[in-house]
């Protein structure tokens, strides 16, 4: 019972934090420096790891698909399978998971440190709402950067799949046929559904990380605990939300 | 409209008073402050002294609005701090014991944050005011450094300089002279006194520093184990007959009969 109450409290706090942050939206134009800094952190620093992982995920998808489909001589559909899997599911989920590990953990660590060392209290006493300068730029940055990262993950994953499909002995699928499969089976709607999911996951990851960081109490030891908590909650929420958002998107 | 010309070059400063009425603060079942009532007059330097763990810093957090009292109320300039409209209308600064500087910013940016965020002055005026505050505390050379590059004492001075830039009507100091050498501690005491003389700023100071309390304050309160023992002028505080106050202000080291073994201290 106590555990349920805590979860509900945490949920309520997170919603309130989100509303408070966006109540300061009119101040965003004069916070452009902070926004660019956060876009750099979310986008640029996450890009290399997203690129490497999406390349290998595309590759392994093509390898598995080639292996499974050779029995029914269905290699021509490898492009469609890799393309759809990445666009609708793997690219947004994988990007969000990497975001939780890379940016979510850094965000919760930074805000928890600021809270423990009274920097957040100092902002409050200066009548500067912490949500305005610490949370809003991060949330807007993730909304701007997640589509870019997810589209990049799609593209690099598809290329990874194409290279494997063409060069592995038991597949040897022509790149033209591979990309023809993507073109025929992956529609604008599939890409958009993936981007919507990525936006939701990324937003939730940053919101949870900010909230966990800002709720940190105690000493330096709690900073580490907050980072772990933020990443674990983010990962659980990504996978739970994945089912519900996918179901919801299928209704439209 | 040009932003630079639209802003006021100087803000006016006035004194504000502070009234604490029957304030209590408990964490779970532990009472840290017990029915505290006191009044700080406009333009006054009011020092709260007491041993470690007596609740001084907790009291300051209630006044700053960082925590909500369990009972009682705090009035600043006659307005209840519990009212959300009060805090933004009061010009108040808190100097934290450990500085609470923003580690990701330079010293200059730490000081400039408040006027920039509240868009009080044009960039040149902000620069002038920041540099003046840094000069007051002999910190001109530290402007471009980050807090992590400073000593504990310098961080404390930067925190005070940051409060000066805010041009507050009420400044709350949490142990402003701790970690400072005697000369710098004297300088800080002079700065606090000067702010009163020049601008009539009201100061509520929490400190162990007997010299600061008995030299520059108008009145001194003694807080022990969450209870307010007395409020008196520095002269009357010095002459207090209360044995706990006397022992706190003039402790005698007695190796043969140490105070930590005495019953009254154990309770």
Pick from A195, A201, A152: nearest CA to A53: A152
> Looking at this predicted complex, what is its ipTM?
0.84
Please answer yes or no on whether A122 and B92 come within 8 Å at the CB atom.
no
Contact indicator for A138, A38 with CB cutoff of 8 Å: yes
Q: What's the average model confidence in pLDDT over B143-163? A: 91
Q: Is B45 helix (H, G, I), strand (E, B) or coil?
A: strand
Residue B2 has a pLDDT of 38
* pLDDT category of residue B179 using cuts at 50, 70 and 90: confident
* pLDDT category of residue B6 using cuts at 50, 70 and 90: very low
Pick from A200, A191, A181: nearest CA to A155: A191
Tokens encoding A155: 């593209």
* pLDDT category of residue B267 using cuts at 50, 70 and 90: very low
Contact indicator for B113, B105 with CB cutoff of 8 Å: yes
Distance CA B95, CA A122 (A): 9
Residue B251 lies in a domain: yes
Residue B263 has a pLDDT of 59
Residue B228 lies in a domain: yes
Residue A252 lies in a domain: no
Q: Looking at the partner chain, which of A118, A119, A126 has a beta carbon nearest the beta carbon of B114?
A: A126
* DSSP label at residue B156: H
**CATH at residue B246:** 3.40.50.300
Contact indicator for A243, A214 with CB cutoff of 8 Å: no
Chain A residue numbers with beta carbons less than 8 Å from the beta carbon of B102 are 114, 119, 122
How many other C-beta atoms can be found within 10 angstroms of the C-beta atom of residue B12? Answer: 8
Q: What's the average model confidence in pLDDT over A80-96? A: 96
Contact indicator for B69, B22 with CB cutoff of 8 Å: no
- Measured in whole angstroms, how far is the alpha carbon of residue A32 from the centre of its chain? 22
Spell out which chain B residues touch chain A, with contact meaning CB-CB distance below 8 angstroms: 64-66, 87-88, 92-94, 96, 98, 100-104, 113-114, 117-118, 166
* pLDDT category of residue B8 using cuts at 50, 70 and 90: very low
Residue A219 has a pLDDT of 87
- Number of domains present in the structure of chain B: 1
**Percent with pLDDT over 70 in chain A:** 100
pLDDT at A137 over 90: yes
Residue range(s) defining the domain that contains residue A152 = 2-21+31-247
- Measured in whole angstroms, how far is the alpha carbon of residue B210 from the centre of its chain? 15
Q: What's the average model confidence in pLDDT over B240-254? A: 84
Please answer yes or no on whether B87 and A126 come within 8 Å at the CB atom.
no
Q: What's the average model confidence in pLDDT over B99-121? A: 94
* pLDDT category of residue B211 using cuts at 50, 70 and 90: confident
Q: What's the mean pLDDT when you consider all of chain B?
A: 87
Residue B153 has a pLDDT of 81
- Number of domains present in the structure of chain A: 1
CA geometry: angle at A21 spanning A20 and A24, to 5°? 95
How many other C-beta atoms can be found within 10 angstroms of the C-beta atom of residue B252? Answer: 7
Please answer yes or no on whether B100 and A128 come within 8 Å at the CB atom.
no
Task: Provide the Cα torsion A74, A80, A81, A82; round to 10°.
Answer: 120
Chain B residue numbers with beta carbons less than 8 Å from the beta carbon of A126 are 93, 113-114, 117, 166
| Beta partners for residue B73, in sequence order | B21
pLDDT at B235 over 60: yes
Please answer yes or no on whether A122 and B93 come within 8 Å at the CB atom.
no
**In terms of pTM, does the model score above 0.90?**
no
Q: Is A217 helix (H, G, I), strand (E, B) or coil?
A: coil
Q: Is B42 helix (H, G, I), strand (E, B) or coil?
A: coil
Show contacts of A249-252: CB within 8 Å, 24+ apart: A249/A193, A249/A196, A249/A197
Residue range(s) defining the domain that contains residue B64 = 3-91+167-266
Q: Looking at the partner chain, which of B87, B100, B118 has a beta carbon nearest the beta carbon of A122?
A: B100
Helix extents (H) in A24-46: 32-39
Please answer yes or no on whether B66 and A126 come within 8 Å at the CB atom.
no
Please answer yes or no on whether B96 and A121 come within 8 Å at the CB atom.
yes
Distance CA A229, CA A210 (A): 11
Residue B127 lies in a domain: no
Chain A residue numbers with beta carbons less than 8 Å from the beta carbon of B161 are none
Residue A131 lies in a domain: yes
Spell out which chain A residues touch chain B, with contact meaning CB-CB distance below 8 angstroms: 110, 113-114, 117-119, 121-122, 124-128, 133
* pLDDT category of residue B4 using cuts at 50, 70 and 90: very low
Residue B7 has a pLDDT of 41
Find the length of chain B.
267
Residue B151 lies in a domain: no
| Beta partners for residue B97, in sequence order | none
| CB-based contacts of B247, cutoff 8 Å, min separation 6 | B259
Chain B residue numbers with beta carbons less than 8 Å from the beta carbon of A114 are 102
- Measured in whole angstroms, how far is the alpha carbon of residue A9 from the centre of its chain? 24
Residue B199 lies in a domain: yes
Residue A26 lies in a domain: no
pLDDT at B31 over 70: yes
* pLDDT category of residue B12 using cuts at 50, 70 and 90: low
Tokens encoding A14: 């997170």
């Amino acid at each position: 019972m106590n555990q349920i109450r805590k979860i509900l409290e945490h949920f309520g706090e997170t919603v309130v934090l989100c509303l408070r942050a966006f109540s300061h939206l009119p101040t965003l134009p004069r916070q452009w420096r902070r926004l660019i800094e956060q876009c750099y952190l979310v986008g640029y620093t996450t890009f290399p790891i997203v690129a490497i992982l999406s390349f290998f995920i595309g590759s392994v998808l093509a390898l598995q698909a080639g292996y499974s489909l050779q029995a029914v001589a269905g290699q021509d559909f490898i492009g469609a399978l890799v393309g759809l899997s990445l666009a609708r599911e793997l690219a947004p989920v994988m990007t969000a998971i990497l975001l939780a590990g890379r940016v979510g953990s850094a965000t919760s660590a930074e805000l928890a440190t600021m809270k423990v060392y009274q920097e957040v209290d100092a902002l409050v006493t200066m009548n500067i709402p912490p949500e305005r300068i610490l949370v809003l730029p991060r949330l807007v940055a993730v909304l701007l950067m997640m589509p870019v990262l997810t589209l990049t993950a799609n593209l690099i994953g598809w290329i990874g799949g194409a290279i494997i499909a063409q060069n592995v002995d038991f597949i040897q699928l022509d790149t033209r046929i591979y990309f023809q499969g993507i073109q025929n089976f992956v529609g604008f709607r599939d890409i958009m559904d993936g981007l919507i999911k990525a936006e939701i996951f990324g937003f939730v990851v940053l919101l949870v990380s900010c909230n966990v960081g800002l709720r940190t109490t105690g000493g330096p030891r709690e900073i580490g605990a907050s980072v772990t908590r933020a990443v674990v909650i983010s990962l659980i929420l990504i996978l739970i939300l994945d089912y519900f958002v996918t179901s919801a998107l299928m209704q439209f | 409209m040009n932003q630079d010309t639209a802003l006021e070059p100087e803000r006016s400063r006035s004194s504000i008073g502070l009234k604490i009425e029957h304030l209590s603060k408990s964490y779970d079942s532990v009472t840290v402050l017990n029915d505290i009532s006191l009044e700080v007059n406009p333009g006054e330097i009011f020092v709260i002294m007491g041993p470690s763990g007596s609740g001084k810093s907790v009291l300051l957090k209630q006044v700053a609005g960082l925590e909500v009292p369990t009972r009682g109320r705090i009035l600043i300039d006659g307005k209840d701090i519990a009212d959300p409209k009060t805090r933004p209308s009061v010009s108040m600064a808190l100097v934290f014991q450990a500085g609470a500087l923003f580690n990701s910013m330079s010293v200059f940016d730490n000081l400039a944050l408040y006027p920039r965020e509240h868009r009080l002055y044009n960039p040149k005026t902000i620069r002038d005011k920041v540099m003046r505050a840094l000069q007051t505390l002999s910190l001109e050379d530290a402007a471009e450094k980050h807090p992590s590059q400073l000593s504990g004492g310098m961080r404390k001075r930067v925190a005070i300089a940051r409060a000066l830039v805010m041009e507050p009507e009420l400044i709350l100091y949490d142990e402003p002279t701790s970690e400072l050498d005697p000369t710098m501690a004297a300088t800080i005491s002079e700065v606090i006194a000067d702010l009163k003389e020049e601008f009539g700023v009201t100061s509520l100071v929490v400190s162990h520093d007997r010299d600061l309390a008995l030299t520059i304050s108008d009145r001194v309160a003694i807080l022990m184990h969450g209870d307010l023992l007395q409020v008196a002028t520095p002269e009357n505080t010095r002459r207090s007959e209360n044995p706990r106050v006397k022992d706190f202000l003039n402790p005698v080291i007695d190796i043969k009969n140490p105070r930590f073994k005495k019953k009254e201290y154990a309770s």
